[in-house]
Structure 1
Amino acid sequence: MKIYQLSDCHLQMDDAAPAANLIRALTLIEAKGGGDLLLLTGDLVCGPCVELYRAFKQIIETHTSIADIYAIAGNHDDLAMMKSTFSGSRIQVKDHLHLNDDVSLCFVDSSQKPRQHMALGAGRVSNKSLSHLRQFTRKHQSIVVIHHPVLNLGAKWFTEIGIENHLAVIEAIHPQTLAVVSGHAHAFFKASVSVKKRKPNDKTIPLFVSPATSYGFEHAKPDYKKNNNIGIMAYDLTPDTSEGKELISTPRYRLNGSVISLDYLTLR
C-alpha cells in the first residue's frame, strides 16, 4: 500500500504561494501514479474560515485522483469547521480507519489549546482522545496520525510549541503500534518513541515528521527562521516477514517512509 502525506499547507487569503505549492505537491503525486491513501496532517489553513477551507477542498478534489483522503486538525485549524466544510467531499475527518483486517489508522486530535500558559502553536490531547488512543492501539495494530510530534525535537523555540501533555500521549501508545506520523515541524525528522514494553520483543516505535508544503523552519538556528525546504512524505506499508513474523496469527507490518522534496520556484 502506498500512502502520501501532506502537512502544514497554510493556505492564506493574501498569499498565493501556499496554494501554488500545494498544487505542485499534488501534481507530483499524480505524476508518480497516485497512491492508495492521502493523509493531510493539520495546519491546512493559516487562519480558519469557511472560505479558506472551501478553497482547500477545491484544490484537493481538483488536483488528486486519490479516493481515500483523511484530514486531521492542527493548531491553526478549527476541527468543527473542517468537519462541516469537508462534509460530502472526498476529504474525511475520522478518529480511526481500518486499512485491512490487520492494520488500522488511529487519528489523534492535538489541536486543543493547552490548559497552562504555553507559546502560541502548542497543543493538547484531551482526556477523551487519550482514552481512545490507549484503547484503540491496544486492540489494533495501528499507525498513529497526529499533527504535533509526540517528542520534543528540533530547535529550542520549537520544543516550546509542542503537546502540553506529550508524556501522557506517549504512555497511551501501545508497543504494538507500527509508527507515529506527524507534521508541525515544517521539516523532516525521523526519531524513535520509547514506550512502556509489555513483551520482551517489543521495540521502539518510529516517528516520522513531515516537512511542510508551505515553507520550512530552520531548526539549526537558535531563533525562529523560515527556509525554502518544503516537501511531502511517501510511505510503503508492507508485510514484515523478517524473523519468521509471517508465521504468527496476526501478520506484522512495516511502514517505510521517505521524503520527496518539492521544486521551490513558487515559494516566496
Structure 2
Amino acid sequence: MFRAVATRRLQGAATLLRFQSTLVIAEHANDTIAPITLHTITAASRLGGEVSCLIAGTKCDKNLLPRVAAKLDVAPISDIIAIKSPDTFVRTIYAGNALCTVKCDEKVKVFSVRGTAFEAAATSGGGASSEKAPSASPVGTSEWLDQKLTKSDRPELTGAKVVVSGGRGLKSGENFKLLYDLADQLHAAVGASRAAVDAGFVPNDMQVGQTGKIVAPELYIAVGISGAIQHLAGMKDSKTIVAINKDPEAPIFQVADYGIVADLFKVVPEMTELLKKK
C-alpha cells in the first residue's frame, strides 16, 4: 500500500516544474489535516515562486523524504527550522546544539519541515480548486490486509498545548495510567522518552526526541525522565518545562523552569487529585 501511495505522491511532485509551484504532502485522517501540516503550509508560503516539495517532519514523512528526492534525482534537506530565501534554509545539527545554513541550487527542492519552528496556517478564509489525480497502476508487490483506526479524545502530540511525558522511571507500561489520568485533567497529550519506548512501556508513536516527535507546547511536564540529550532535542523549545524526578542530579533539571525532586508515584496522583477539585 505504501508504495502505491508513494507513487501517486511522486506523480504530483513530477508536475511541479509544469506549474512552477510548491507541493505540500499533507498528513490527514481523511476528514481533518494533521496540525503539523498547517505549520508546513506556513513554511511553503515563504518560498515565493520556487519549485519545491515540502514534507512535514514526522516518522512517516521522514521515510518518504529520501524516496521522493531519489525519484527526482535531487539532494533532500531535512528538518529545516527557518527560510532565509527561496534557496537558503536553516536546520539544526548535533542534536539541536548548532545551526547550519544550507543553500540549495536544485531545480526542484525537496525538504522536510520541523513543525514547531513555524506558526500554524489558518484553516479558513481561503479557497482553492482541486484536481483528482489518476490512480497509480498496481505494482503487484503488495497486498491490502486491513485498516485499524485508533481514536482518542486527547490532542495530537505535535500540536498539543500541554504535553505530559513519561520515562523509564515509571517502571512499567501499566504505570503510564498515572500520566493518562493527569493528562485528562489538563487536556494534554501524552508522550514518552526513548528509554520508555525501548523498554516496551508504550508504542513508538509516543516517543518525543531527536529520533521521535519534536514538540514545543506551552507546558511540558517530564515525569521520571532523566534528560538524555536525544530527548531534550525534541522538547527544549517548550515554553514552560516542569520536571519531576527523584534524582536531584538528573540532567532534565538543567533545562526545566520548575523542578520537583520527589517520588513520582506520590506526586503525580496528588497533582491529579488537586486538579479534579478545581
Could you tell me the TM-score, scaled by structure 1's length?
0.26
Which structure: greater helix fraction?
Answer: 2
Question: Which is higher, the Rg of structure 1 or of structure 2?
Answer: 2
Whose RCO is larger (CA < 8 A, sep 6+)?
1
Could you tell me the TM-score, scaled by structure 2's length?
0.26
